[in-house]
Structure 1
Amino acid sequence: MIAPLCVVLPLDSRREPQHGDNPWETVARGEGITIRYSDQPQSTRKTWRMPLGPTSALSRHLQAVAPMLGGGRGATQLFRVEFPPGFNAGDLMPAVGGGFRGVVRSGNGAHRIDGQARLIPGPAGLRTAALGPMLGLMAVTILTEMAAAAEQDRKLTAILTTVERVDARLRLESDARLQTAEQTIRQAHAALLDRAAIPESVGLGAAMSHVQDIRNLSSVLIAGWERVLERQKRTEVPGSVLRKELGEVGKIGWDGFTDAVRTAHLANHLDSRRLVLVAAEAQFRNPGSPLHHLRQAVEADLAERARDLDRLRTVLARLSSTPLTISAWDAGMLPHLITDRAAENARTQALFAGLSAAMTGAADPAWCSTGFDAELGVDGDVRILEPGDQRDHE
């Protein structure tokens, strides 16, 4: 018997697979997840975050799939887990990433299924109908975490590069709480893949309550900056006036403006990632729920956070296109002071342009795939691999 090249598992456990089911139709409807052996070399691939043990939920589910592909436990196996284009997994990742403008690569998984692919009954004691939704749920959290964390880091790096280039300042007053939140989110995600639950000891709720406070404050600041721009509708604005008015919002001072932008971006990204993890944990407790319920559970809240970041992008875009002048008061100063004011205006405009570019740049397509590779070792340990060359999956 020839082993199937690709297994298609249904994502809705309410319907048991039937003999004669057509996997092509399941894929076309976006109702299945595909698992096959990956053709990517794993020796040079980095591990994404920490490996998982043989008793982890992800390892147990991959071990259940291996016999369906004709594999055994005598060698390391590399799996490609992928959603078909019909599932629209890519819709969720931009939302978690704050609405980033990236190209989501499907990997053209539907093209890789040939006549040997078919729905196969699960091994004894494990219903195939339950296997698909559980693997799909873990895949969603892996893909959204990969994409959102990569996009978050990309924007933070771009912001810091801008700050260094124009010699601006960052206070980093909120860094301790935001770093704690980042660490907690990673621990919570690892717990989901390991135990299909987030234990209280991780402290996700306590860590994220601070982030929600910061996000709410950031929303107030964005509204204040919008009001400043509404008042300054002239084609030209004295730079000293604009800096003063932006700094008066929330009493952060002009020196606190860049840090407030960075904090708003980071708090919204972190809170979006939290939403997905919390919703995924709730769905793990109800394995009979179709996977698309996850999207329904989070899309309204994610849209709200994406709107806040859209407002921030709009503010920065408007600021970057506002010509700055020297006020009449500054113009009456000594020549060298006028030169200083002009130089400060130039730095301000460069800062606005850099921040705007950082918030609107395109995401890295390598991190926006609808599938991932996982290496299952002989002992059952699992390594999730960082994305390789996506062209190999097309």
Structure 2
Amino acid sequence: MTEESVLTYVGIAMAIGTIGNALVIYIFGFRYRKSPFNMLITILAIYDLLSCIIHMPLDIVGMLLPEILPHSIFCKAACTMVSVTMIAASIVLIAIAIMRYRGVSKPLSRNIDIREAKGIGILAIIPAVGLSWPIIFMFTTETITSKEGRKIAMCGIHDKAYTTYALAFHSVLLGLFLVNFISLVVFYLVIARVMINRNKVFAQKNKRNRSIAIASIMEKSDQTSTGNTPGSTHDSKMGMISAGKKNSITQKSMSLFVHEPQSPKSERLKPAGRCRERSSANNGLLMMFLVTILFLCSYLPHLGYSMYFLLCSMDDIINLAVTASFGVLVRSYYMNSFSNPIIYALCSGEFRFEVAETFRRLFRLKS
């Protein structure tokens, strides 16, 4: 039952992740307008898609037909890929958070452009590979036998000579991971605070402008009734409209840095108004915050197990290896490969619209 549970988990993750990330790449990369944010989201989806079409199928084949694949080669390649994609994705998430923060706190200053965003996504591979290369030498596959006589292929660090280096390596990875996560959370909390304060200022300014305009209209009306020029009421109304437009433009310029404009077709479906702009901005912030939280939840169990295996006895490892929870949790990083498209669909009506349009076009081509 243990192997069947793990196979089911990996198979579902591969199916959802492959379809979901392919849709993200198509929609954010080709359907939406070109922007640094959309470029970085597309690069994140490429990292996740590589895991779905390379790592997961090899994992399934390794469980079903272990004699086909050289175990140690697969173990080294799989663990290296997990580490590289984790570090590269964390760099891209940091870049997105910095871009969001600069866009909200300094909306008129220069921000990351599309070419720089593409460069960040590609160059993130270099430090990721630089930190992950020790895996090639330390990780191997060994077959262990449980008390029931069941043989299990375990991928990990089995050579005791590497124990000290392995502890240092995993400590560095875990430390960088936690620092990265804390930085991301702090960035998004600061962004949320700036947005809340900015919205309060806009609300107070709108209220003050309305009060001044209404008082001016009433005063002009009184003057008109006593014989003053009738055009003054019209002028005061125009002044109120002008003040409202000015404030609306300022608010809109801030919100655009939080919620990127997307495809022209989906924009036609959106009702106009400041409430919609604030809702879109809040949804964009919530979307990336959830991506950050899921990133932590997906990699932390895997890193925790890796550290635990270096410190516990072989009997404990064997007892854990025969449980279904172990097979799933040690592969917890797969959750990151399929969860992002689900988050985008939950938080973005535009993304849901484009997904529906994509499937409609596909069905039309088939018919």
Could you tell me the TM-score, scaled by structure 1's length? 0.33
In terms of fraction of residues, the more helix-rich structure is 2
Q: Provide the TM-score with structure 2 as the length reference.
A: 0.34
